[in-house]
C-alpha cells in the first residue's frame, strides 16, 4: 500500500526547511506526549465520527472559552445560505484584506467554535485581518460533494459582498485539502480566485498511500493512518473516485492557481503529500512554497500559547500575506 512512488525524483527546489538546527521547545515536546494517548484510544475503541463529536466538541469548547478572548470578537453570520463564524480583530490592520478559512477535522468533525476557536482567534489577532470561517456540512451524514458545494456557495457570496477586498483562502488538514479543491473548482468554472492561499498541514490525498503514512505513523502524535483511511471512506465512500481532483487535489492540475504557502511538520503522516503538491505545482509554473518545520506535528499552529512554535507559525503567515499585498 505505501509505495512512496509519488516522490520518485522529487527535488528540493519547492521546499524550505524552517529553523534547521534549532531545538524543539520543551512545551511542544510535552504537548506531543500529552496527545499520544488519543491515538491509543482510537485503536482500542475505533469510535464513529458522531461519538467523537459528542465527546470531543464539548471539551474543546469549554477549554476554548476558558482562554480569555483578548484582541478579537466573534460574530455568527452566513454567506450563500451557509453558516459562517467571523473572527474580528480589535486592532484591524487592513480592511482591504480578509481571510476565508476552512477548518479541518477529516471532513467528519471540527467546527469554528470548538476545535478551531483558539486557533482562529490567534490567526485573526496575529494577522490583523477579519476571518470568516465557513461551517460546511460534515460527513458521514453529508458525504462529498456537500462540503465542496457549501464552501463554493459561501465563497461566491463573500466575493459578491466584498468586491474590492483581497481574499486570502486558508485551511488546515482536511480544510487545507478542501481549500485546494475549491481553488481548482473556482478556476475550472471561471470564478474569482483568492489573492493567495495558506494551507496548514493539508490533507490532499484520500488514498493515504504515500510513504510517510507508514514511516510517520508512530511519530505523528495527532494523526493515525488507520483513522485517516476510515474517515476518507466516510467522506468519499465507494464508488466515489478518491483520485478525483475535487476529492484528492494532489491529483489535480495547478496551472492558474494563486500563490500558495504550505506549512507542514516533518513528523506528520501528511509530509510526503505536501512535498509532492509543492513539486507538482512548481513543475506547472504555479507559485507554491512548502515550508517544512522540523520536529513539528500535525496542525501545531492550533495550540496557541501552549507552544511557542504556534505563534512563530502565525507570524510567518502574517508576514507572507503582507508580502503579497
Catalytic annotation, residues: 173, 268
187 neighbors 257 (Cβ within 8 angstroms):
yes
Question: Which triple of cell numbers denotes residue 303?
Answer: 495550540
Sheet harboring 260-265: ordered strands across?
15-17, 288-293, 260-265, 196-200, 166-172, 97-102, 130-134, 82-89, 72-79
User: Of all helices (H) and strands (E), which one includes residue 294?
Assistant: none
What share of residues in the chain are helix, strand, coil (percent, to 5)? 40, 15, 40
Distance between CA atoms of 51 and 47, rounded to whole angstroms? Answer: 6
Residue (of 100, 119, 260, 300) closest to 180 by Cα position: 260
Question: Which triple of cell numbers denotes residue 299?
Answer: 496542525
Burial 138-163 (b: 16+ CB within 10 A, else e): bbeebbbbbbbbbbbbbbbbbbeebe
Amino acid at each position: 500500500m505505501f509505495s512512496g512512488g509519488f516522490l520518485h525524483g522529487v527535488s528540493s527546489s519547492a521546499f524550505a526547511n524552517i529553523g534547521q538546527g534549532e531545538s524543539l521547545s520543551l512545551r511542544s515536546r510535552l504537548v506531543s506526549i500529552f496527545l499520544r494517548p488519543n491515538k491509543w484510544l482510537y485503536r482500542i475503541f475505533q469510535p464513529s465520527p458522531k461519538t467523537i463529536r459528542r465527546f470531543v466538541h464539548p471539551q474543546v469548547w469549554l477549554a476554548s472559552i476558558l482562554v480569555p478572548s483578548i484582541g478579537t470578537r466573534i460574530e455568527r453570520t452566513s454567506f450563500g445560505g451557509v453558516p459562517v463564524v467571523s473572527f474580528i480583530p480589535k486592532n484591524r490592520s487592513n480592511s482591504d484584506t480578509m481571510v476565508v478559512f476552512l477548518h479541518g477535522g477529516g471532513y467528519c468533525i471540527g467546527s469554528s467554535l470548538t476545535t478551531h476557536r483558539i486557533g482562529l482567534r490567534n490567526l485573526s489577532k496575529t494577522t490583523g485581518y477579519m476571518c470568516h470561517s465557513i461551517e460546511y456540512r460534515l460527513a458521514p451524514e453529508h458525504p462529498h460533494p456537500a462540503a465542496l458545494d457549501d464552501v463554493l456557495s459561501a465563497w461566491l457570496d463573500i466575493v459578491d459582498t466584498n468586491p474590492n477586498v483581497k481574499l486570502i483562502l486558508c485551511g488546515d488538514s482536511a480544510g487545507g485539502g478542501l481549500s485546494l479543491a475549491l481553488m481548482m473548482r473556482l478556476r475550472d468554472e471561471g470564478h474569482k480566485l483568492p489573492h493567495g492561499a495558506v494551507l496548514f498541514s493539508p490533507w490532499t490525498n484520500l488514498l493515504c498511500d504515500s510513504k510517510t503514512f507508514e514511516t510517520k505513523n508512530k511519530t505523528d502524535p495527532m494523526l493515525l493512518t488507520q483513522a485517516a483511511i476510515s474517515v476518507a471512506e466516510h467522506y468519499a465512500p465507494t464508488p466515489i473516485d478518491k483520485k478525483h481532483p475535487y476529492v484528492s487535489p494532489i491529483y489535480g492540475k495547478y496551472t492558474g492557481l494563486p500563490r500558495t504557502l504550505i506549512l507542514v511538520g516533518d513528523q506528520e503522516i501528511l509530509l510526503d503529500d505536501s512535498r509532492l503538491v509543492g513539486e507538482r505545482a512548481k513543475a506547472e509554473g504555479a507559485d507554491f512554497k512548502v515550508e517544512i518545520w522540523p520536529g513539528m506535528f500535525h496542525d501545531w499552529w492550533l495550540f496557541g500559547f501552549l507552544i511557542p512554535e504556534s505563534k512563530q507559525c502565525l507570524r510567518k503567515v502574517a508576514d507572507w500575506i503582507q508580502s503579497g499585498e
